[in-house]
Structure 1
Amino acid sequence: MTDRVVRVVLADDQPLVRAGLRVLMADNPELDVVGEAGTGADAVRLARDVRPDVVVMDIRMPGMDGIEATRLITAETDATRVLVLTTFDDDDYVYGALRAGASGFLVKDMALDDILAAIQVVASGDGLIAPSVTRRLIEEFAARPEREALPARRTVEGITDRECEVLTLVGRGLSNAEIASELFITVATVKAHVARLFTKLGSRDRVQLVIIAYELGLVAPPR
């Protein structure tokens, strides 16, 4: 990582969850909890006030839920990223969070070290916790009936053939190293292509690139 301290807001309606995360992060000099919120509305207000690097966002909260809070936060700034807390196997709201602009996902019972690493990954702009998680999450997202309600497909005008190849492999959930191996190019070249895709497609992170790859039909959901 870098020497930069990641400023974090914890948004969860359970005080014990917030307290546990705060204690966990207190021992990590690279993370600084700059605020806590018990509702989605409070999370939005706090994000506006303190401009954190990452909001760790619960989905189910009273009043405004985590999905709407995520949508409002990500619509206002590219500087703050949202990392959603979810029970992956049974929480249908996670798909709404994807559309709202969430940059990554945490499972509440995952290893504590993995939680810290995930926060730092999202803060760095990578937007992925693990390719395997992304593959499963996005494949299920893309196969859901609600997908028909997505906006009209984007065009790929202005994207080179190589960038299209990279986007396709990102959509399949491959890491930079895996893409480099697949295309016989360097990891640095892959990173450069991904950075250009961010700019050309107006994407915040790799999670959104995966969604775009599905919307464009570059990657087909499982049947």
Structure 2
Amino acid sequence: MAGVVRVLVVDDEALVRHALRVFISDDDRVTLVGEATDGSEVVDACRTVKPDVVVMDIKMHEISGIEATRRVLQWNPRCRVLALTTFTTEWRALEILRAGACGYLVKNSTPEQIVDAIVAAHAGDRVVSPEVQERFVRSAIEAHDSPVPETPALSDRERRIIELIAQGLSNAEVAEALHYAEGTVKADIRHINHLWNVENRLQIVLRATEFGIISL
């Protein structure tokens, strides 16, 4: 078993966990050492089975994969987290990558792609599904081509919201961090979208990088 990558699967769908169990058991480069059904269970599971790589769903009932990723890396910064989700939107990928995940795959990936990504993640590589990579590139091009205002007229609160978005926080988490209602945060984000002529969170982050408000 020397050199075999130890894998913990975190997903609230039993069918997905079963499929991953089968995929992993068919490849001698990896071994399944544990499963968890929610982000709230992940740290206890990690302490028990000590995985090399955690395969993490994003949307779960109690604690999201984004927050669970932060908790895993607080437990062990050397552990690698690979997101496996149905979402193909680039801002979802950005959220969990900013939280510390080293890869992002969608669930229509083949068994070979999933196991190859686990092995690559353990080796220190970053793996992102091709369709998500394409969205990243397209969003970067669109953000670059959009008219850029000479001066980003933002309030201090809006600047702070952008910083927290870039860290991968959800609207609810931003609202909690700033002690504002979530509706206020959403309204501020809509204002930023209108002001900067952008459409989503990823484009906000890219535009803020161009302005030097944040650095990626």
Q: Same fold (TM over 0.5)?
A: yes
Superposition deviation, residue 108 in structure 1: 0.2
Q: Who is 2:170 aligned against? A: none
Q: Who is 1:149 aligned against? A: 162
Superposition deviation, residue 103 in structure 1: 0.5
Counterpart CA distance in 2 for 1:140 and 1:46 is: 37
Alpha-carbon deviations, 1:138-175, whole Å to 9, x = none? 774895x9996227x9xxxxxxxxxxxxxxxxxxxxxx
Counterpart CA distance in 1 for 2:26 and 2:56 is: 21
Any unmatched runs of 5+ in structure 1? 154-212, 218-223
Answer yes or no: is the 8 Å Cα contact 2:106–2:129 preserved in 1: no
Q: Who is 1:170 aligned against? A: none
1:113 and 2:112 correspond: yes
Counterpart CA distance in 1 for 2:42 and 2:93 is: 18
Superposition deviation, residue 106 in structure 1: 1.1
Answer yes or no: is the 8 Å Cα contact 1:86–1:94 preserved in 2: no
Superposition deviation, residue 91 in structure 1: 7.7
Spell out the pairing of 1:63-82 with structure 2 (5 A cutoff).
63-82=62-81
Spell out the pairing of 1:17-28 with structure 2 (5 A cutoff).
17-28=16-27
1:39 and 2:38 correspond: yes
Larger radius of gyration: 2
Moved more, 128-137 or 41-50: 128-137
TM-score (structure 2 length as normaliser): 0.61
Q: Who is 1:16 aligned against? A: 15
Distance 1:27 1:72, change over 3 A: same
Q: Who is 1:165 aligned against? A: none
Counterpart CA distance in 1 for 2:163 and 2:91 is: 17
Amino acid at match of 1:64: I
Q: Who is 2:177 aligned against? A: none
Distance 1:107 1:50, change over 3 A: same
Q: Who is 2:86 aligned against? A: 87
The percentage of counterpart residues that share the same residue type is 40
1:127 and 2:140 correspond: no
Superposition deviation, residue 136 in structure 1: 3.6
Matched residue count: 156
Distance 1:133 1:65, change over 3 A: closer
Partner of 1:150, secondary structure, is helix
Distance 1:215 1:103, change over 3 A: farther
Superposition deviation, residue 132 in structure 1: 7.6
Superposition deviation, residue 133 in structure 1: 4.6
Counterpart CA distance in 1 for 2:103 and 2:140 is: 14
Counterpart CA distance in 1 for 2:90 and 2:134 is: 17
Counterpart CA distance in 2 for 1:140 and 1:82 is: 24
Q: Who is 2:28 aligned against? A: 29
CA RMSD of aligned residues (A): 3.4
